[in-house]
Amino acid sequence: MHEFRYKGNELYCEGVKISRIAKRFDTPLYIYSRKTLIDHYRKIKKAFSAIRPLICFSVKANSNLAVLKVLANQSAGMDVVSGGELYRALKVGVAPQRIVYAGVGKREQEIALAIKAGILLFNAESFAELGLIERAAGRLRKKVDVSLRINPDVEIHTHRFITTGRMINKFGLDIRTAEEIFLRSRIFSHLNLVGVHIHIGSQITEGRPFVLAIKKALHLIKRLKSKGVQLKYFNIGGGLGIVYRNERPQTADEFAQAVLPLLKETKLKIILEPGRFIAGNSGILLTKVVYVKKTPKKNFAIVDAGMNDLIRPALYGAYHEILPVVRAKDKAERKVRYDVVGPICESGDFLAQGRDMPIVQAGDLLAVMSSGAYGFVMSSNYNSRPRVAEVLIDKNKVSLVRKRESYRDLIRAEVIPKGL
Ligand SMILES: *Cc1c(COP(=O)(O)O)cnc(C)c1O
């Protein structure tokens, strides 16, 4: 559940009218609820309290410093996938020993930065990467902890762009290769291979693939143990699905019930990396209708937010609920079928297609729900559109947590060579 609700006919975030926020900060605008972020973090924490795991928020889902700070204050760790995300996590004061670093393409400078910072461990995804970490650690005269990300090859019912645990995906090591590396780990004098990592995809609504993947990892862990390799960590990744439309995802408690018995048996320190589960329903994208355009085939609601602000519908065909910020008084009002589209010069630029909604007019405010994860972080300046502002709501308090970019910001890093 989340803190975006109607009171009367007005949509609120926590204690604040969204129409009021729009007046003050203009649109398009991302709005986050502090309480929802915390509630979701605590749901996972409580569900897994029996084993006190390290819960590392997946920074790539929403990397705004204020969002990270809210979670860091709850003593969340962070899961990073780049030097930039590591920089953000450290900036908000997350203890390095609560930071884990995954990703298939870590560069040497990024690895060196993470070693110097003293992160808990790397989740390594290839043999070649281990070589690079070994070299960087050697140069810094450090011995670093590394988990191997294995690819458990399980099938998941989610969009093909967000499965990561099939053998056709670029992620992780196949189990046999991983096992060989563990057994030959002495060749790395600067690495301790201390754990197994899995992350099988995103927006997974059922427990089964998690259980299957965990069981495969457990087999590996057991075989390693029998051959004298004792590990410290088992990282089960993120991927928990949320409600965008009519999904019925497992709750945190159901998820924990399904996997806790398996995890307990390992006696290893468990790491979780939820991203979407914490941030997804904690944010909305607020947009305004600029024009309504009726063609012989369709009704277009042309809004001021585009695919550069929220790319999920264009990229994954993702569904986002779209709600009027001010509801019509007559609830029985007739619905009209709209394509809700942005101003970008691409036919893929839509937020919804064929959506039955109460009639809209130019100037109406719309809330694109469940946009707190993989929303702003995936935004771009395409069509030279300044990136939008972000605000954080805490009860009745509204804080600007990222300024709207200006035209000057758009060209800040560009240079016209002399004599051109
Ligand atoms: C993206 C990612 C996550 C978070 O995924 P969600 O579906 O947002 O929970 C966790 N771990 C790794 C390694 C990731 O790349």
For 69-97, the three-class secondary structure string (H helix, E strand, C coil) is HHHHHCCCEEEECCHHHHHHHHHCCCCHH
Catalytic residue among 128, 345, 415, 420: 345
Please state, rounded to an integer, the average pLDDT across all residues of the chain. 96
- Domain spans, the chain: 4-31+280-411, 34-278
Q: Please give the average per-residue pLDDT across 353-360, as a whole number.
A: 96
The atom of ligand 1 lying closest to the CA of 373 is 8
Q: Which residue do the tokens 């003050």 mark?
A: 24
Question: 117-123: long-range contacts at Cβ-Cβ below 8 A with a sequence spacing of 24 or more?
Answer: 117/86, 117/90, 119/86, 120/54, 120/77, 120/96, 120/145, 121/145, 121/146, 121/147, 121/194, 121/195, 121/233, 122/146, 122/147, 123/147, 123/148, 123/149, 123/197, 123/235
Longest dimension (CA), the chain: 72
Q: Relative to the CA of 280, which ligand 1 atom is closest?
A: 8
Mean pLDDT to the nearest integer, 24-48: 98
For range 164-187, the mean pLDDT: 91
13 is catalytic: no
Ligand 1 mean position, distance from CA 256 (Å): 17
Residue among 55, 58, 247 whose CB has most ligand 1 atoms within 8 A, to mutate: 58
Residue 83 clears pLDDT 90, i.e. is over it: yes
For the chain, helix (H) and strand (E) counts, in that order, are: 12, 20
Distance CA 193, CA 197 (A): 11
Closest CA to 259 of 235, 279, 278, 281: 235
Query: Shortest CA distance to 148 belongs to which of 110, 188, 96, 114?
Result: 188
Ligand 1 centroid – CA 159 distance (Å): 14
Cis-peptide, bond into residue 324, ω within 30° of zero? no
- CB 320, CB 312: distance < 8 Å: yes
Report the share of the chain in percent with pLDDT over 70.
100
Q: Measure 174 CA to ligand 1 centroid, in angstroms.
A: 19
Nearest atom in ligand 1 to 162's CA: 7
pLDDT of 280 > 80? The answer is yes
User: Could you give the CA distance from residue 1 to residue 358 in angstroms, rounded to a whole number?
Assistant: 24
Q: Using the atom order of ligand 1, give the atom closest to the CA of residue 238.
A: 9
Mean pLDDT calculated for residue range 256-275: 97
In CATH, 34-278 is 3.30.420.40: no
CA of 274 to the centre of ligand 1 (A): 6
Question: Domain 4-31+280-411 sits in which CATH superfamily?
Answer: Lyase, Ornithine Decarboxylase; Chain A, domain 1 (2.40.37.10)
CA of 238 to the centre of ligand 1 (A): 5
Query: Burial level of 347, CB count in 10 A (0-12/13-18/19+)?
Result: exposed
Contact 200, 153 (CB under 8 A): no
143 pLDDT exceeds 70?
yes
Q: How far apart are CA 100 and CA 235, in angstroms?
A: 10
What pLDDT does 328 receive?
87
Would you give the distance in Å from CA 112 to the centre of its chain? 25
With a cut of 80, say whether residue 114 has pLDDT above it. Answer: yes
Residue 334 has pLDDT above 90, yes or no: no
Nearest to 232 by CA among 145, 303, 150, 299: 145
Q: Which residues line ligand 1 (CB under 6 A)?
A: 58, 60-61, 79, 81, 102, 199, 202, 237-240, 273-277, 373
C-alpha dihedral (393, 86, 377, 23), degrees to nearest 10: 30
How far apart CA 32 and CA 356 sit, in angstroms, is: 26
**Which of 57, 60, 240 for mutating ligand 1's site (highest number of atoms within 8 Å of CB)?**
60
Calpha distance 159→60 (Å, rounded): 18
Which helix (H) or strand (E) segment holds residue 259: the answer is helix 252-266
Write the CA distances from 278 to 71, 125, 156, 178, integer angstroms. 9, 25, 21, 30
Question: Which atom of ligand 1 lies nearest, measured to the CA of 81?
Answer: 15
Q: Residue range 170-192: average pLDDT?
A: 96
Using CA positions, which residue lies closest to atom 3 of ligand 1? 238
In single-letter form, the type of residue at position 48 comes to F
Mean pLDDT value of segment 185-204? 97
pLDDT of residue 331: 62
Pairing relation of β-strands 283-294 and 299-303? antiparallel
Rounded Cα–Cα distance for residues 302 and 319 (Å): 17
Q: Which backbone phi and psi does 132 adopt, to 5 degrees?
A: -70, -40
Number of Cβ atoms within 10 Å of the Cβ of 190: 18
Residue 169 clears pLDDT 90, i.e. is over it: no
- Please say if the pLDDT value at position 282 is more than 80: yes
For residue 60, how far is its CA from the centre of ligand 1 (angstroms)? 8
pLDDT at 165: 74
pLDDT confidence of residue 159: 75
Mean pLDDT throughout 294-317?
A: 97
Position 332 scores a pLDDT of 63
Closest CA to 273 of 15, 19, 55, 38: 55
- Per-residue model confidence (pLDDT) at position 329: 81
DSSP string for residues in 95-115: -GGGEEE--TT--HHHHHHHH
